[in-house]
Structure 1
Amino acid sequence: MKAKRILGIKLLLSIVLVASSISCSKKSSSSNTSRATGWNMDSKKGSSSKKQQAGPGLVFVEGGTFTMGKVQDDVMHDWNNSPTQQHIQSFYMDETEVTNSMYLDYLEWLKSVYPPNEQIYKNIYEGASPDTLVWRNRLGYNETMTNNYLRHPAYADYPVVGVNWIQAVEFSNWRTQRVNEALLEKNGYLKKDAKTLDVSAESNFDTETYLNSPTSAYGGNEEIVLKGSKSGKKAPKAGKDGVVVEPKNVYAQRSSGILLPEYRLPTEAEWEYAAAADVGQREYNIYKGQKKYPWNGGYTRSGKRQTKGDQLANFKQGNGDYGGIAGWSDDGADITNEVKKYPANDFGLYDMAGNVAEWVQDVYRPIIDNEANDFNYFRGNMYTKNKIGPDGKIEIVTKDNMKYDTLSNGRVVARNFPGQIAQVPIDEQETYLRQNFDKSDNVNYRDGDRQSTRYYKLADAESDDSKNASDKLMYNSPKHNVTTDSLGNMVRNYDKSSKRTTLINNESRVYKGGSWRDRAYWLDPAQRRYFPQDMATDYIGFRCAMSRVGPKAEQKRSPRN
């Protein structure tokens, strides 16, 4: 009996030892060696990859399926929003709209790096500045906002307006560079304070340039890159035989897990999904109905005891009523309001209805083509690639080959900046025999291209639509243009043709949400409108989003509801 007990104890110990060795082996396999080859990793701790951290100002939005489009009566008879079932991947979105103070940070950076008093850079600062004249009204006195709204500290935390879609995209790109630059400095890959002390027009940071050609970052100034606390420790050293050993891992890479994906405008589907926040009506694995507004309930007023009767958003109450009477303001504002003045929705996002409407990425079309795609829906793809120079290396933009665009309203804006990688449209090298796309410009796909019109027989696969008759297009919008005369003066020409049939074109961008100028009807997240991408108003602002890499959820699903 005693022998059996000893044998049992030995057997149990052997099982424990085998299990622990297996667990150690598993741990070793996942942390110190490659699961594919068994080779040792480049560090004692294995891969330096990590889960994505939320960027400054961002809130996590877990993706899922939802009904995109409105299920209410279409009283405006737009017929542009039939409900479709869509799925959105998880992403991050700004907690609030971009404020005046945030945008002024951008303008101050541009002013210091690209001095507007230098002829070559004079259009950069002006092209990024919001249009403060949007506040003017032929029969209204709004000069106070025209002169003060953007820069007065009283409006610092109010949403920026007067910004067109192009400016919003450029702000998002600038924000990407500044955030990643700070992350590299924090992790010891850049010289401390270089982002403020050593930056100039010819020496500034771009994420893609750093990843593709790190020696070209900061205009090729390796002093900035190689004097980071981490990079400095890996400087070239003499080996045992006097041979100089080149440093390894001096530069951060995408595999380092340090750099964040780009800040960008949210897609229309992402914005609508985040605004509706149906997760607040979830019961187990279904949504109990669809919200009319970003908050629960079918009314715009609070039903809570402490705030009963208060409006939950900033919008126009009725004709000549933008905020109630003196001493009893319904929503606390008559124009825009400070961000975070109203409750957040179930994703923790503020002002997804009211305050200002918001730009999204998409080009406008009257339908959402769910037959073509129902996953991460987006219209507006323009595929490009890095430009390769005659020497076989990627071409970096300099002050001498910067490009500017003249917009339809005559405003001049920079299309690229020194330090960025020059981009060109993809060509047959990327599209030959490919099934998922066959050209660079996919804005018109299935809705606007020649193949989707009754003139489809005129479409020539080897020629661009613009080479065909301009009047035989699905969206035959006015074509204003700006030219220069022999003296270099701008000549603004209006399209006076009587054959134009629509205002929709490839430069029409969607904006979502109601604003301080809108009635409650437009507070529904499903509502959609459009506006020219190079024009601005006093009621459209924007917020940024960022794609999520890695797992869908931040934590495992609870077994309980």
Structure 2
Amino acid sequence: MKKTYLYTFAFFITSSVLISCKSKNGASEKTGLEYNKQENGGFQVNNKFRRGPGPGLVEIEGGVFVMSGSAINMPGEELANYNHKRETTVSSFYMDETEVSNRDWLEYLHAIRRNYPTDYEYYYNELPDTLVWRRPLSYNEPYVDNYLRHPAYQDYPVVGVSWEQATRFCEWRTDVVNESLLRSQNIMASYKEVNGDGKRPKQATANATPRPAGQFNTDMYLNGQYDDKGKNAPRDLTPNATAATGAAAQKGGPRRTVRLEDGILKQPYRLPTEAEWEYAALGLIGNTQYENINNNKIYPWDGLGISSAKSKTRGLILANFKRTKGDYMGVGGSLNDKGSITVSVHAYVPNDFGLYNMAGNVNEWVNDVYRTNTFEAADALNPYRGNYYMDKQVADPATGKLAKDKYNRPVMTAAVSAKKQTWAQKQAADSAAKVNTYADQRGYRDRDNQLYGEITLVNDKSRVYKGGSWDDQAMWLNPASRRFLQQDEATADIGFRCAMTMLGASEISPYGKPQFKPKKQKPFNARRQ
């Protein structure tokens, strides 16, 4: 019986290998044509795609939760501090393990100075406002001069950055990560080829690969506006594709740039939505079994208290916040939260998603435009208020080339239609001159929008921030709490972290869980017909 099992198993393995070898490229279920074959037209499919987070991110498996369900109204507390409670579903996504630190921001500033050495305005505009530390009745001048740049604070969260600056950092980070992926795999010329090896200056020779001026841009690259193909660039299987000649000639025939269909480039880094942030902060995945949430949370950790119940750390505060109106860190000789201002972005214990400081340290910008009752009207799946739909401006309709600004970024224009236009409409000379009433959806289904910006401080540039900070008391540590600030303003207690959309299946790990196993149809073989 044992031998029979072994023979059967061996036959199964051998058959699987033969089948996989026979159809290693895969074939269309609808036409029968094999993929990745030049003789079949050169349609290319990545059969080996494996998704994964970008640098610094962790996986957040989405699901249903009650938005603002953790809120506990204290006596005298304004209801505007919370959203309308509503059952909401958040799709799976990626999120930064920590807040963005001063070291991260200095890397951003260094890249600006390296790529645009004479653009002092660009550099100045991205400098955090260190004057946020100044207060008329406090001696905070050392923080003004040292907090951003001194190595003592390099692992502390960056502050003094506006929502607008944080958004631009996300855009820059996207491009740096994607350029690094392409150059490290020699899909584009390697950094060593374009910058030298550090031991000696790069020699200007006929075979030298010049580094394009300015910052790499993912959108422009995907649109075919970078002619930089390294030795591992994908083969171009299009019939009659022309191979490069001379110094640019490569082995294996013609090469092409990476496409979105190849699955190599990462999705854009961005600020998380308010729903994503609150869901990730709660970390209910640690309290869930078989779709049952055993107990809810009012903080990112279990229990009703704000201090550790474990024997070795009993009594230690679990976040960096202000315990009373004058107690910022505890008693000398036995400091509690150990931070008079901010602390390291890796301080304290992460929540059940592995995220640090989702309560306290610094408040964090999220993507949403603020309204008091956003989620009373918002969609139940991935709720968000703040959409302003934009299109990339085409510079040459004949070639599809995009218009770009002086920083190599696509020129964006307000979207003019909620549906795909006909070719004739798209080419119409007056299409760009239409009134763009469709693009701005920030006030959609907003009952009181006629009042915003008129008799209240709330307007379409008011952005939500959440999480509580070193300068806040415990009520603001609740993930449901929310406040707002103008998107061009900054404070000493607001920082941020980035998120990224997760593509594909919502389930992160199917192992050990019941799964349906549909029967796979045998592939079409034209020779047998």
> TM-score, normalised to structure 2's length?
0.81
Are residues 32 and 248 of structure 1, via their aligned partners in 2, closer, same or farther at CA, if it must alter by over 3 Å?
Answer: farther
Q: Which residue of 2 aligns with 1:170?
A: 168
Identify which of 519, 525, 540 aligns with 2:473.
Answer: 519
CA contact (8 A) 1:444 1:506 kept: yes
CA distance in 1, matches of 2:25, 2:235: 24
Between the aligned partners of 1:354 and 1:196, the Cα distance in structure 2 is: 41
Secondary structure class of the residue paired with 2:401: coil
Given the alignment, which residue of 449, 456, 461 partners 1:507?
Answer: 461
Q: Would you say 1:340 and 2:346 are equivalent positions?
A: yes
Q: Residues 283 and 17 of structure 1: is their aligned pair in 2 closer, same or farther, counting only changes over 3 Å?
A: closer
| C-alpha distance 21-340 of structure 1, shift in aligned 2 (>3 A) | closer
Q: Which residue of 1 aligns with 2:502?
A: 548
Residue of 81, 84, 87 corresponding to 1:82: 84
CA separation in 2, counterparts of 1:19 and 1:145?
A: 65
Residue 419 of structure 1 aligns to a residue in which SS? coil
Q: What is the deviation of 1:550?
A: 1.4
Report the Cα offset of residue 232 of structure 1.
Answer: 9.5
Matching residue of 2:218: 207
Alpha-carbon displacement from aligned partner over 1:40-59 (angstroms, at most 9, x marks no partner): 22169963451211111111
Q: Is the 8 A contact 2:394 2:403 kept in 1?
A: no
Alignment correspondent of 2:442:
443
Please give the per-residue CA displacement for 1:276-323, whole angstroms capped at 9, x wherever unaligned.
Answer: 001111122111232010001111100111111100100001021100
Task: Assess if the C-alpha contact under 8 Å between 2:235 and 2:254 holds in 1.
Answer: no
Q: Name the CA distance, whole Å, in 1 between partners of 2:349 and 2:374.
A: 30
* Offset from partner CA, 1:219-245 (integer Å, 9 cap, x none): xxx3xx13x121398795499xxxx99
**From 37, 40, 63, the counterpart of 2:31:** 37
Amino acid at match of 1:533: Q
SS at structure 2 position matched to 1:389: strand
Corresponding residue of 2:524: none
- Counterparts of residues 418-433 of structure 1 (less than 5 Å): 418-428=407-417, 430=419
Letter in 1 for 2:78: H
C-alpha distance in 1, partners of 2:443/2:397?
35
Q: Relative to structure 1, is the Cα distance of residues 21 and 342 closer, same or farther in structure 2, using a 3 angstrom cutoff?
A: closer
1:255 Cα deviation after fit: 1.4
1:61 maps to which residue? 60
1:351 matched to 2:395: no
Give the C-alpha shift of residue 186 in structure 1.
2.0
Q: 1:300 to 1:22 in 2, by over 3 A?
A: closer
Question: Would you say the 8 A contact 1:381–1:441 is kept in 2?
Answer: yes
Structure 1 residue 474 corresponds to structure 2 residue 468: no
Q: Aligned residues: percent identity? A: 39
Q: Tell me what 1:415 maps to.
A: none
Residue 145 of structure 2 aligns with which residue?
147
Shift of residue 369, structure 1, vs aligned partner: 3.2
Is residue 329 from structure 1 mapped to residue 329 from structure 2 by the alignment?
A: no
Conserved in 2, the CA contact under 8 Å of 1:236 and 1:245? Answer: no
Q: How many Å apart are 1:27 and its aligned residue?
A: 7.9
C-alpha contact (below 8 Å) 1:291/1:297 kept by paired residues: yes
Whether contact under 8 Å (2:308, 2:318) holds in the other structure is yes
Give the Cα–Cα distance (whole angstroms) in 2 for the partners of residues 190 and 238 of structure 1.
15
1:385 aligns with 2:388: no
* Cα distance change, pair 519–19 in 1 and its aligned pair in 2 (3 A): closer
Change (3 A) 1:162 1:288: same
Distance 1:29 1:375 in 2: 39
Corresponding residue of 2:403: 396
Summarize deviations over 1:111-147 as a string: whole Å, max 9, x none: 11112xx3xx232111111000000001111001000
Residue 139 (structure 2) pairs with residue 132 (structure 1): no
| Contiguous gaps of at least 5 residues in structure 1 | 1-8, 400-417, 454-472, 478-499
CA distance in 2 between partners of 1:23 and 1:201 (Å) = 45
| Residues 1:347 and 1:431: Cα distance change in structure 2 (over 3 Å) | same
Q: Secondary structure at the match of 1:185?
A: helix
- Name 2:374's counterpart in structure 1: 368
Classify 1:257/1:41 alpha carbon distance in 2 versus 1 (closer, same or farther; 3 Å): same
Counterpart CA distance in 2 for 1:262 and 1:59 is 15
Q: d(CA) in 1 for partners of 2:441 and 2:459?
A: 13
Look up the SS of the partner of 2:94 in the other structure: strand
| Deviation (angstroms), 1:559 | 4.6
Query: Is the aligned partner of 1:293 residue 2:299?
Result: yes
Cα distance in structure 2, aligned partners of 1:199 and 1:276? 48
1:493-531 deviation digits (Å, cap 9, x = unpaired): xxxxxxx42100000000010100000111001101100
Question: Aligned partners of 1:148 and 1:372: how far apart in 2?
Answer: 43
Contact preservation (8 Å) 1:263, 1:545? yes
8 A Cα contact 1:177 1:206, kept in partner: yes
* Equivalence map 1:450-469=2 (5 Å): 452=447
User: Matches of 1:56 and 1:506 in 2, distance apart?
Assistant: 32
Letter in 2 for 1:87: T
| AA partner of residue 65 (structure 2) | F
Q: CA deviation at 1:64?
A: 0.4
Alignment equivalent of 2:272, drawn from 247, 253, 266: 266
**d(CA) in 1 for partners of 2:91, 2:263:** 20
Q: Is the 8 A contact 1:238 1:245 kept in 2?
A: no
Aligned amino acid, residue 276 of structure 1: L
The amino acid across from 2:231 in the alignment is S
Gaps of 5+ in 2: 39-43, 197-208, 423-435, 515-529
2:45–2:262 CA contact under 8 A, matched in 1: no
Equivalent position SS for 2:367: strand
Contact 2:350 2:357 in 1 (8 A): yes
Hey, what does 1:97 align to over in structure 2? 99
Equivalents in 2 of 1:50, 1:245: separation in Å?
24
Partner Cα separation in structure 2 for residue 155 and residue 321 of structure 1: 22
Partner of 1:305: 311
Supply the AA of the counterpart residue of 1:160.
V
| Distance in 2 separating the partners of 1:182 and 1:17 | 44
Q: Which residue number in structure 1 is paired with residue 282 of structure 2?
A: 276
Task: Quote the Cα distance in structure 1 between the aligned partners of 2:16 and 2:332.
Answer: 74
In structure 2, distance between residues paired with 1:87 and 1:189: 38
Alignment RMSD (CA, Å):
3.2
Q: Which moved more, 1:244-253 or 1:75-84?
A: 244-253
Question: Does the Cα contact within 8 Å between 1:176 and 1:263 map onto a contact in 2?
Answer: yes
Query: Structure 1: which amino acid aligns with 2:96?
Result: D
Cα distance in 1 for residues equivalent to 2:503 and 2:48: 12
